A and B are shown apart, each in its own frame.
Chain A
Amino acid sequence: MSKVQVMNGNMAAAIGAAMCRPDIIAAYPITPQTPIVEYLADFVIDGKLDASVSEVESELSAMSVVTGASLAGSRVFTASASQGLSLMYEPYFRASTLRLPVVMAVANREMISPQTLWGGPQDTLSVRDAGWLQIYCEDNQEILDTMIMAFRLAEDKNVLLPINVCFDGFYLSHMAERVEIPEQEDVDAFVPKYVPEHIKLDPKKPMAVDPLTNGYLLAEYRLKHMMAQQNALKLIDEIDEEYEKKFGRSYGGAIEEYKCEDADYIIVTMGSMTGVAKDRVDAARAAGKKVGLVKVRIVRPFPGDKIANALKNCKAFGVVDRNVSFGWNTGIIYEEVCAAMFRNNLLIPNVPFIAGLGGEDVTGEHFDYAIDTVIAQEGNADKHYTVWLNREDKGI
Chain B
Amino acid sequence: MKEIRLHGIGGLGTVKAGEMLVHAAVSSGKYGNSTPFFGFERQGAPVTSFVRLGDEKIRAKNQVYNPDCTLILDPSLLVSAPVFEGLAEDSYVILNTRAEDPTDVIKDPNVKCLAWLDATSIAVEMLGRPITNTIMLGAFLKATGWVDKEALEAIIEQFFGAKNVEAFRRGYDEVKIHEFR
Contacts and interface: CB of A to CB of B under 8 A. Distances in A.
A276 B63 CA distance: 10
Given A4-B26, A6-B22, A6-B23, A176 B33 contact: yes
B35, B60, B61, B65 — most chain A CB neighbours (10 Å): B61
A276 B32 contact: no
Nearest to A365: B65
Given A275-B59, A276-B59, A363-B63, A178 B36 contact: no
B169 to A, nearest CB: 23
B152 to A, nearest CB: 13
Contacts of B23: 6, 176
Contacts of B37: 170
Contacts of A138: 61
A179 to B, nearest CB: 9
A82 to B, nearest CB: 15
A275 B57 CA distance: 11
A176 B34 contact: yes
Interface bin, chain B: 20 to 34
A80 to B, nearest CB: 19
A170 B65 CA distance: 18
A172 B61 contact: yes
Nearest to B31: A178
Interface in A313-371: 361-364
Contacts of A240: none
A265 interface: no
A275 B22 contact: no
B32 A177 contact: yes
Contact of A278 (B36, B59, B63, B65): B59
Interface of B: 18-19, 22-23, 26, 31-37, 40, 58-63, 65
Which 7 pairs across A and B sit closest by C-beta, in order of nearness? Answer: A275-B59, A177-B33, A175-B35, A178-B26, A272-B61, A176-B34, A361-B63
11 contacts: A6-B19, A138-B61, A139-B59, A170-B35, A175-B33, A175-B61, A176-B33, A177-B33, A177-B58, A273-B61, A364-B60
